[in-house]
Amino acid sequence: MTYGKSRPLDTAALPPPEDRQRNVCPTPSEMRILRQTSDTPTRIKPRKSQSERRLILSKRSALLFSLLLSLAVAISAQAQGKPKPSPTPPIDDDAPVKVFTEEVRLPVIAVDQFGHYDPTVVPEDILILEDGVAQQIASVRRIPANVVLVLDTGGELSGLGGISKRTSLTRDVALELLRRLSVNTSVAAMQFNNSVTVLQPWTTDRQSLVKALKTKLSSGKRARFADAVAAAAELLKDRPEGTRHVVFITDGVDTPGGKIDRAQAFKKLAATRSTIHIISYTALVREKPPKAAGADAIRQVPVSRDPISSNDPTLPPGTTRSPAYVYHTITFDPAMKRQRKAYEADVKNSQQVLTTLAQETGGQIFLPISGEQMLEQAREAAREIGSEYVVTYRPKRALAFSTPGEYRKIEVASRRVGLSLRSRRGYVVPSPADEGKR
């Protein structure tokens, strides 16, 4: 044997291939032959047993499971840290969009040169000054009105002439007004006597209103006028601004002992920015009735019921020995006369207050002197309500910069020759809570 040189492989010395595949570990002779075929000796690792391979596989599976578990925990913690997006609500294309803007709705009556209500008014015909500053008018239109009927059925005390307000006449006037209002006008009716009662809530059903006026109206000894004014203000506060009307059929006399002071009641009504129309009894109850035939004749009456002195056979018929004379046919009890005198003074004062109230709000007071005139003026009040315009403008001095309860003066003038305009003299800035109800 020569060292350092290789010699050819003797394949005959190797075992058959099938034997090599069956042996798990090479034989010593095979190891010697393999070392001889290469300059670099090759180490052949022995094959592991089946139990060792299972142990290795289980360790690898445990390691893989721990890695997967750690990854899942990390992903879960990251997902919990992020806020979940809220679902987007569906978009309703038909839903109305509410836009809150500052605007003033001013009721305006327009009359032409012939005294007729003018139906052709446009924004260019009107000039509005708020606290002396001209305003830019946005629109002039007609909107269905909301009317509260306030009927006085209490304290039917006659005046000096013997004429008094009557529940039956009040009912007839209210029914006549109702017949003349537009069919799309919303109406509520109330009465006041010993207390205030709502006869019919808001409705456009004329039959229901007529039935309520014919079946629910009643009279009482007292007249809670101030309480009725406050109740009317409560009914109006939820109605659209610019369309609010109150029609009083009353003498305006208030019986003491009500729930609210008269001045406070008027303040609440002014805050609603409604138009006040008054069909007043104040002139009617002071009107003297026509004298009967022979009422001015002076006649003699007996001084007693003694048949001897009353019927003296020695004197002409109708005369007595101690005569007494009367003028007219009516004599007054002194206490009743004082009461009627006081009532007449209250009526005069009430007429002044009611006139100021109507003029301040852009309405009108009617002073009929008979039942026929009351019916006619009820029709006139209905025509005025139906002819009213609603003028809208955005005040140049924002309402947000005003304190609630601030009074702003309004002046309305015509830019067209022959056109006369009438509106309220001012308005009270509402509080934010009231502004949201408009």
Q: What percent of the chain has pLDDT over 90?
A: 50
Cβ(407)–Cβ(115) below 8 Å: no
Q: Are residues 237 and 360 in the same domain?
A: yes
Place of tokens 């109406």: 187
Written as six digits, the tokens of 404 are 């609630």
In a domain, 83, yes or no: no
Instruction: Give the E-state strand segments of 65-116 in sequence order.
Output: 104-111
pLDDT digits (tens, 9 = 90+) for 270-320: 989 999 999 999 999 887 766 655 555 555 555 554 555 555 666 666 566
Contacts of 14 (CB under 8 A, 6+ apart): 20, 30, 33
Q: Within 13 Å of residue 173, how many CA atoms lie on the same side as its CB?
A: 32
Tell me the residue range of the domain where 220 lies: 144-288+336-387
Give the pLDDT of residue 29. 61
In a domain, 355, yes or no: yes
287: left (phi over 0), alpha (psi -120 to 50) or beta: beta
Q: Are residues 150 and 125 in the same domain?
A: no
Q: Are residues 173 and 272 in the same domain?
A: yes
In a domain, 263, yes or no: yes
Cβ(404)–Cβ(431) below 8 Å: yes
Q: Is 8 helix (H, G, I), strand (E, B) or coil?
A: coil
pLDDT digits (tens, 9 = 90+) for 178-208: 999 999 999 999 999 999 999 999 999 999 9
Q: Are residues 118 and 233 in the same domain?
A: no
How many Å apart are CA 292 and CA 355, to the nearest integer? 34
Measured at the CA of 33, the angle between CA 29 and CA 34, to 5 degrees, comes to 115
In a domain, 85, yes or no: no
How many Å apart are CA 142 and CA 343, to the nearest integer? 41
Q: Are residues 152 and 136 in the same domain?
A: no
Q: Are residues 228 and 359 in the same domain?
A: yes
Q: Are residues 230 and 182 in the same domain?
A: yes
Q: Are residues 190 and 261 in the same domain?
A: yes
Q: Are residues 255 and 306 in the same domain?
A: no
In a domain, 189, yes or no: yes
244 has which bridge partners?
A: 146
Check pLDDT > 70 for residue 403. yes
Q: Are residues 305 and 342 in the same domain?
A: no
Q: Are residues 137 and 151 in the same domain?
A: no
Give the pLDDT of residue 188. 97
- Comparing 79-88, 214-223, 244-253, the range with the smallest average pLDDT is 79-88
347: CATH: 3.40.50.410
Written as six digits, the tokens of 92 are 């309703």
150 has which bridge partners?
A: 190, 248
Contacts of 161 (CB under 8 A, 6+ apart): 285, 286, 287, 288, 289
How many Å apart are CA 293 and CA 299, to the nearest integer? 14
**Burial class of residue 312 in the structure, from the number of CB atoms within 10 Å of its CB (0-12 exposed, 13-18 middle, 19+ buried):** middle
**Neighbour-count burial for 175-185, b at 16+ CB within 10 Å, e otherwise:** ebbbeebeeeb
pLDDT digits (tens, 9 = 90+) for 356-380: 999 999 999 999 999 999 999 999 9
Contacts of 374 (CB under 8 A, 6+ apart): 169, 173, 279, 284, 366, 368
Q: Are strands 186-192 and 146-152 parallel, antiparallel or unpaired?
A: parallel
C-alpha distance across the termini of the chain, in Å: 123
pLDDT averaged over the chain?
Answer: 79
- Comparing 93-102, 310-319, 386-395, the range with the smallest average pLDDT is 93-102
Contacts of 275 (CB under 8 A, 6+ apart): 107, 244, 245, 246, 361, 362, 363, 385, 388, 424
Place of tokens 């047993």: 49
Give the pLDDT of residue 299. 58
Q: Are strands 137-141 and 389-393 parallel, antiparallel or unpaired?
A: antiparallel
Q: Is 427 helix (H, G, I), strand (E, B) or coil?
A: strand
Which of 236, 248, 244 lies closest to 274, judged by CA?
244
pLDDT digits (tens, 9 = 90+) for 63-81: 777 777 777 777 766 666 5
Give the pLDDT of residue 309. 53
The count of domains in the chain is 3
Cα four-point dihedral sign 287, 292, 296, 302: negative
Q: Are residues 123 and 148 in the same domain?
A: no
Helix-then-strand count for the chain, H and E: 11, 16
In a domain, 180, yes or no: yes
| Confidence band, pLDDT 50/70/90 cuts, at residue 2 | very low
Give the pLDDT of residue 3. 42
In a domain, 62, yes or no: no
How many Å apart are CA 372 and CA 376, to the nearest integer? 6
Place of tokens 């852009």: 362
0.85 surpassed by pTM: no
pLDDT digits (tens, 9 = 90+) for 409-430: 999 999 999 999 999 999 888 7
In a domain, 134, yes or no: yes
